[in-house]
Amino acid sequence: MLRWSLAAALVQEDARVLVVDAGREEATAALAREHGVPALSVGPASWAAANNAALAATEAPEVLLLNDDCFLAPDFLAVARPRLREAGVGAVAPKLLRARDPRPADRLDEIDAAGMVLDRRRKNGLVGHGRPGAEFATPGEAFGADGAAALYRRETLADCAVEGEVFDEDLATYASDVDLAWRARLLGWRCAYEPGARAWHVRSYGPSTRAQVAEADRRTQFRNRYLMMLKNDTPAGLARDAPEIAFYEGLALGHSLLRERHLLAGYRDARRLASRARARRRAIQSRRRVDRVPFGLAPER
């Protein structure tokens, strides 16, 4: 994967590239050396911890975080950067298209994500996942950018950091990106959706692949929703959306009892991490600049 994603990153306009090795793989370091690119070894590390290390090791005012299973179109940065420079925009969500593997012949004309959405149940999702690639062709606004390829202002990331962490390392991997998007919204930053910035992504966890994902990863995703709510939600927002949240909670508990009993451990895991989430909540809410978060916000189809 990295051989393909790195080649696509290196042709981007005016870009400096850093490879972050979260697994201490010698092949990763060797590939970086082959392309004359610096490599930072931080493994073994979670997705959140690896990205935090990358941010700490760089200083550029604009930062594209890119997974190794995501392959940029040649003009990706040239198209995305102008959107990032709009007033109040802290992140740019590209149009991600699906791929079975890195090779161009296995790239699909099907949307992987036109940004992320967080609905009033506090359930995050991928906008347009599985829809024809021609849809979601109009620039607009998304709730947030999917972490597979997300362009950020450094100023926004610094503003969102809590206890030195841009990404909450207690969340580890799944939903770390939507947690950051929610925090950015609370601090008054917007996310632009730019369909002209395209990339192809081999998604390991999404609506079309969830059944094949390990139970531990599904449980982490389940747990992280509660940690996000504990940190980021407001009393007014919870009061307004209480019926939708309560209905979904009943469905989630029923599903866990009847279909995926391993998810029940997610409740225990959320309780175990609750005290640290509350400490982060105090830091976030003390700096909150807006009262209403646009749950359900997504680009037009």
Q: With a cut of 90, say whether residue 204 has pLDDT above it.
A: no
List Cβ neighbours of 152 (8 Å cut-off, separation of 6 or more): 62, 63, 64, 65, 84, 90, 91, 92, 145
What number of CA atoms fall less than 13 Å from residue 182's CA on the CB side? 29
Q: Determine contact, residues 193/86, Cβ cutoff 8 Å.
A: no
Mean pLDDT across 288-301: 96
Residue 197: what pLDDT?
Answer: 98
Q: Which residues of 226-253 are buried (b: 16+ CB within 10 A; e: fewer)?
A: bbbbbbbbeeebeeebeeebeebeeebe
* pTM score, whole prediction: 0.96
Closest CA to 299 of 130, 141, 129: 141
Instruction: Report if residue 256 sits inside a domain.
Output: yes
- AA letter at 92: V
Residue 166 falls inside a structural domain: no
**How far apart are alpha carbons 171 and 47 in whole angstroms?**
9
Query: 111 forms bridges with which residues in the sheet?
Result: 97
- Residue 233 forms part of a structural domain: yes
- Number of structural domains (the chain) is 1
Q: Which residue has the higher pLDDT, 28 or 25?
A: 28
Q: How confident is the model at residue 129 (pLDDT cuts 50, 70, 90)?
A: very high
Q: Which domain does 235 fall in, by range?
A: 212-285
How far are the Cα atoms of 120, 121, 131, 134, 250 from residue 246, in angstroms, in the given order?
A: 11, 8, 30, 36, 6
276-293 residue pLDDT tens: 999 999 999 999 999 899
Residue 293, SS3 per DSSP: coil
**Would you state the pLDDT for residue 210?**
78
Q: Note whether residue 137 is domain-resident.
A: no
Percentage of the chain exceeding pLDDT 90: 93
Q: Residue 206: is its pLDDT beyond 90?
A: no
pLDDT (0 to 100) of residue 212: 80
Average pLDDT for residues 230-257, to the nearest whole number? 96
Q: Is the pLDDT of residue 23 over 90?
A: no
In a domain, 268, yes or no: yes
For residue 275, is it within any domain?
Answer: yes
pLDDT value at residue 211: 76
Q: How far is CA 58 from the centre of its chain?
A: 19
Q: Is 131 part of any domain?
A: no
Write the CB contacts of 56 (distance below 8 Å, at least 6 apart in sequence): none
Q: What percent of the chain has pLDDT over 70?
A: 100
Does residue 9 belong to any structural domain of this protein?
A: no
Task: Please give the residue that has the higher pLDDT: either 49 or 213.
Answer: 49
pLDDT at 26 > cutoff 90: no
What is the band of 300 on the pLDDT scale with cuts at 50, 70, 90? very high
